[in-house]
Chains A and B, each alone.
Chain A
Amino acid sequence: MNIVVCVKQVPDTATERKLRSDDKTLDRDAADGVINELCEYAVEEALRLKEAHGGEVTVLTMGPGKATDTIRKALAMGADKAVHLVDDALHGSDALGTSYALAQTLKKIGFDLVVLGSESTDARTGVLAAMLAERLGVPQLTFSNKVEVNGETITAQRVTDYGYDRVEASLPAVVSVVEKINEPRYPSFKGIMAAKKKPVTTLGIADAEIDASQVGLANSWSEVVDFAAAPPRAAGTIVKDEGDGGVKTADFLASKKFV
Chain B
Amino acid sequence: MTVERVLPTAEAHDLIDLVRELAGKEVAPRAAADEATGRFPREVFTTLGRSGLLGLPYPEEHGGAAQPYEVYLQVIEELAAGWLAVGLGLSVHTLSCFPVAAYGTDAQRAELLPEMLGGELLGAYCLSEPHSGSDAAALTTRAARDADGYTVDGVKAWITHGGAADFYTLMARTSPDGARGISCFHVPAGTPGLSFGEPERKMGMKSSPTAQVRFDAARLGPDALVGSEGEGFRIAMAALDGGRLGIAACAVGVAQAAFDAAASYARERRQFGSRIADFQGVGFMLADMATRIAAARALYLDAARLRDAGRPYGTQAAMAKLFATDMCMNVTTDAVQVLGGYGYVEDFPVERYMREAKVLQIVEGTNQVQRLVISRAVAKG
- Please report A residues at the B interface, Cβ cutoff 8 Å: 185-193
Contacts and interface: CB of A to CB of B under 8 A. Distances in A.
B201 interface: no
A193 B60 CA distance: 13
B89 to A, nearest CB: 18
B51 A186 contact: yes
Contacts, number: 30
B200 interface: no
A192 B65 contact: no
Interface in B150-178: none
Contacts of B22: 186
Interface stretch (B13-21, B91-99, B321-329): B13-21
Interface string B17-59: 0100110001000000000000000000001001111001000
A189 B47 contact: no
Contacts of B52: 188-191
B11 interface: yes
A186 B18 CA distance: 8
A125 to B, nearest CB: 27
28 contacts: A186-B18, A186-B21, A186-B22, A186-B26, A186-B47, A186-B50, A186-B51, A187-B18, A187-B51, A188-B50, A188-B51, A188-B52, A189-B14, A189-B15, A189-B18, A189-B51, A189-B52, A189-B53, A189-B56, A189-B65, A190-B52, A190-B65, A191-B52, A192-B11, A192-B14, A192-B15, A192-B18, A193-B11
Interface in B45-83: 47, 50-53, 56, 65
Contacts of A190: 52, 65
Contacts of B11: 192-193
Interface of B: 11, 14-15, 18, 21-22, 26, 47, 50-53, 56, 65
A188 B51 CA distance: 4
Which 4 pairs between the two chains have the least Cβ-Cβ distance?
Answer: A189-B52, A188-B52, A192-B14, A188-B51
Taking chain B's interface residues, is the majority helix, strand, or loop, or is none over half, making it mixed?
A: helix
Contacts of A193: 11, 14
Given A186-B22, A187-B18, A189-B51, 4 more contacts: A187-B51, A189-B14, A189-B65, A192-B11
A188 B21 CA distance: 12
A188 B53 CA distance: 8
A47 to B, nearest CB: 14
Nearest to A190: B52
B24 to A, nearest CB: 10
Nearest to A185: B50
A191 B65 CA distance: 12
Contacts of A185: 50
Nearest to B49: A188
B118 to A, nearest CB: 11
Contacts of A186: 18, 21-22, 26, 47, 50-51
B59 to A, nearest CB: 14
Nearest to B119: A188
B252 to A, nearest CB: 22
B25 to A, nearest CB: 8
Contacts of B18: 186-187, 189, 192
Contacts of A192: 11, 14-15, 18
A194 to B, nearest CB: 11
A15 to B, nearest CB: 14
A189 B17 CA distance: 10
Contacts of B15: 189, 192
A158 B37 CA distance: 39
A191 B56 CA distance: 14
Nearest to A189: B52
Nearest to B60: A190
Nearest to B47: A186
A200 B229 CA distance: 54
A189 B51 CA distance: 6
Contacts of B53: 189
A192 B9 CA distance: 14
A107 B95 CA distance: 54
B107 to A, nearest CB: 25
A193 B11 CA distance: 7
Residue among A185, A186, A187 having the largest count of chain B Cβ atoms under 10 Å: A186
A234 B213 CA distance: 59
A188 B15 CA distance: 9
Nearest to A193: B11
A242 to B, nearest CB: 29
Contacts of B65: 189-190
Most A C-beta atoms less than 10 A away, residue of B18, B47, B53: B18
A187 B14 CA distance: 11
Contacts of B14: 189, 192-193
Nearest to B67: A189
A190 B117 CA distance: 13
A190 B53 CA distance: 10
Contacts of B47: 186
B158 to A, nearest CB: 31
A208 B11 CA distance: 33
